[in-house]
Structure 1
Amino acid sequence: MGSLNLLVTFVYGFLDKQRRKILWDKLSILAQSVVEPWGLLGDFNHLLLPEEKRKRRPIYSGCKLFNFVQSNELRGLGFKGPQFTWRRGVIFERLDRAIGNSAWCRTFLEATIFHLPRLKSDHSPILLSLNSPKKAQVDRPFHFLAPWFVRESWSNEVDLVDNIGTLTMNLKRWNTKVFGHIIRRKRLLALRIEKIQAALDRRYSRFLMELGCQLRVEYEKILDEEELLWKQKSRVDWILVTEIRNSSIIKPLRGEVENQWCYDNEVLQEEAIRFFSSLYSLDDHSFGRFSLYGCFPTLDFASLGILEADMTNEEIRSALFSMGSLKTPGPDGFHALFYQNVCRSVCGVFSDWSISSSVNKTFLVLIPKTKAPESMAQFRPISLCNVLYKVVTKVILNRFKLVFPLLITLNQVSFVVGR
């Protein structure tokens, strides 16, 4: 919260009355020393008002929780969602709540407490929202999402590159119209469960009970999909598109000619292309010819036969499945997980199908060498290649490993595992 100091206490009221009384006494002592905004939320395991139970019972002035709230000038923070947070059979009670002092109520005027749907527990989770502003939505490159399990648009009889292009368009359409946004689907389903539980709070209905069970099963499936989605997203380490397009995040660089700071994104892009094209290009100088015949070891016909032999499906499969399934994808947006599920089509690249030049497209990402880079020379470029391209090079490299011992002497350390 920046420079704002606040205190949040998470409460669990013991089932034992004596231990619960000790808890209220200790919290009362703490309340005397707290001057900053103070919020308390959790399972208090006690009623505060008569209407917090379906079958009302009087709340006596001797109630320890009631006395604790009144004596320390605390107040309830309200809630949205079902009235009762605990259910066992046909008994409904509100045992979970959030309360705060006057400083909290003055500071967080837009704070909201949500009673979320009950799923595995007999208690409803409670969510505290301070209404943080949402980030603006921007267009992003296509990425295959791991929860997508669609095969109708895939054909093993079509060229792999054309197949991927067709599948990409169909997946975008299918994701919008059928699969939908996981977070949005989760929110809508949770809202239906919440309304059913709110209706059950008012009266019992066998139909609503069965419908609620069905929706909870569907909700669990969405949670599994969301878990897989966040597992995939957690592996994304590069700067997000929203950050790249934010001029306040892009650091200005000094120009090499006039030594002035540059803030224009297009100029920075042109400067990056110019600098690295020059860095990795040969000068227009003539190089002398050297006779290298006999200076390096050569391969016999048997070794050349090993390199020229047809690639086996086992070699291709081994190379493909040795990759991390959710590693950073290339421009086509498909992770190794996708190609591992269409391994047969990948094997076809090495038999009858030619490789399209589009497979060799890459994303170039600049990684800073220092904490505060000021010129292009302080960046290191890396290439994010398509998985199919990496499979091809990995299979070829594994073949070369078989003959490397014949070409690389014992005093050399490059290209040999373990040296």
Structure 2
Amino acid sequence: MKIIASWNIRVICSASKKGEVYNLIMNSNAPLCCLQETKARRQMMRDNVYDICSSRESFGNYNHVIKGRVWTLWDPDRVQLDILNDSSQFIHPRVTLLQTHQTFLLTNVYGRNYGGDRRILWQDMETLSSTIQEPWILIGDFNAVRYHSEKSKGMIINQSDMDDFNCCNNNCSLADLRSIGHPLSWSNGASLSERKYARLDRALINDIWLQDYPLAFAEYRAPGISDHSRIVVSLKEQCSLGPKPFRFMDMWFADSSLYPEVERAWAIKIVGNPMYRIVQKLKEVRRAIGIWDKDIFGRVDIMLPMARRNLQDVQNRLAINPANQDIRKEEIAVREEFLNVSRKEESMMRQKSRVDWLCEGDTNSKFFHAVVKASYHRNQIMAMEHSPPEFIVPNPDKKLTLEEAEFLTREVSREEIRQAVFSIDGNKAPGPDDFTAAIQNFFSRGKLLKEVNTTFISLIPKGPDASTPSKSGQFRSALLSTKPLQKFWQQDLKLYKFLLNCKTDRFCRWIPPIPGEFKLNSDASLSDEGGGIGGIIRDSNGDAIYCFSLSISKGEIYSLEIHAICTGVAAAMALGITNLWIEADSTFAVASLDKSSHPPWNNLPDIKKAWSYLDSVDWRISHIWREANSAADYLSKRSCTCKGENIPIHCIPLPLMDILSRDQAGEIYQRL
């Protein structure tokens, strides 16, 4: 159901533009229409609205601007509109959908052209947000961008204006509504060589909107005769995706009554080969946990409001009779019960949100709820256009050598299985006992039970437009295997992942970035002579565009790794690169920068410095094995033994040229 249509019409008085607004209203069938930059006097507004659609009611911000810049039109048969506030840059009503009786707040925005004037708008938005406790959507032309990626190359954006806009969004807890279509909504209409684009028009929502309308999305449509794209907001009904797979929850650890139930289920004698025994035991454990969770543990979402009400009731009685010792003891017990249930809820939401880097301590349930809702909203595929299929043609020239093939197919040892198990996060995999025999059984017999080989097919957006994918060619399918093999004290062991780890971790290679993206590989080294950092930036063809090899005074290797990344990012910024993929062979540096692990306090200054650099580019970071990071490794070790320098591209040393050639050819390196 489409509910809002928004458009910066750039002066509405001409017949052609009024006709286009009429077409927008009729084609979208939206009961609300938000127009910006109308520039028509008050006495002309009624005639213009009548010409557009005689059944619509309207409101303009004429109390603040002689030529109203913002209009809101609505269908009184479908919505009720109550104007709560307005200014020279927005109209803020409460909307009630008469058919469903749903209500939300709508802010129709037209930001001024100058940063100083827009600061007044940001202040007004923060004032509005301080009292809002219901779904809120802001839509229109903000005349500001949030990131450098929201503009075309060569277009100059004032950094302070962008910082002001982002600061306002953070203070108001606003996020972009999920969108389809091309989000660079404005163009200057110049010739192709001088044309510039920017995302000036957008829809922002608060976390309550996410909770009430998780499947809402915005569609960017062609601008037509204006220089701004039209935006249409739709509400989508939630559909059932079938039963969810079983998942072990960390909050169950706190209840000691779980352990006997699981031990009893695990102790059942099963006859058959090792993998069959594992599968059947896990089924029994899952069934036992399900019964225990329903009959004994209880539902946290029901228990928490009940515990809160009980605590309030006891505290109200204690306020009336503060000297009553029995009520005091009851208050202590009820408070402990509330805190216990609250901790369970926080554990559950942390697990669902997959935010591992947040420090333990204060309860962060509201934050985790917001992360879960935002993730669910972001992962929805709202619509998809057909695009020509893409085919990957195998290269017959790339083959494994006989030695590599023999190494890959040799027998898997118990030690390799043990290393594969312990390489997975302790919160995601149990120890190797009881599973080693099942894994070795697979490699010896070559058979995998269907219960283990269940696969989910998921579409992952890829490419420069990954934030707003709308075509099938912008997605890549990912096979998520397999059914989680659960064990009662830890969770989410995936046997298939072990099988893959035991084989594929023996080899690695350097992977080029996608077109339009650049890759930075960095490394650091320490020797008796001193320390050094090195890095190289390459394009999607694998060609080097910048190299550095710098001598550094001795220090912690971790700090040097972060310093190398900062140096590479600074070089990328100087080259005008805004889309950067960073790879390093330090798992500690990668985990600290992507916030999957909390860095030690003495390294926080280095991490914060790196984050400040990364704020200026669109970036992602990942780990690379040392053998595939040979180019950066060579540059960092080179600077330890000779004076560091930035290496001109036309003077690349022969050893480095050999490494780059092998990387470009897709050579597979054997891990040592």
TM-score (norm 2): 0.31
Give the greater-gyration-radius structure (CA): 1
Query: Which structure would you say has the larger RCO, counting Cα contacts within 8 Å and 6 or more residues apart?
Result: 1
Structure holding more strand per residue? 2
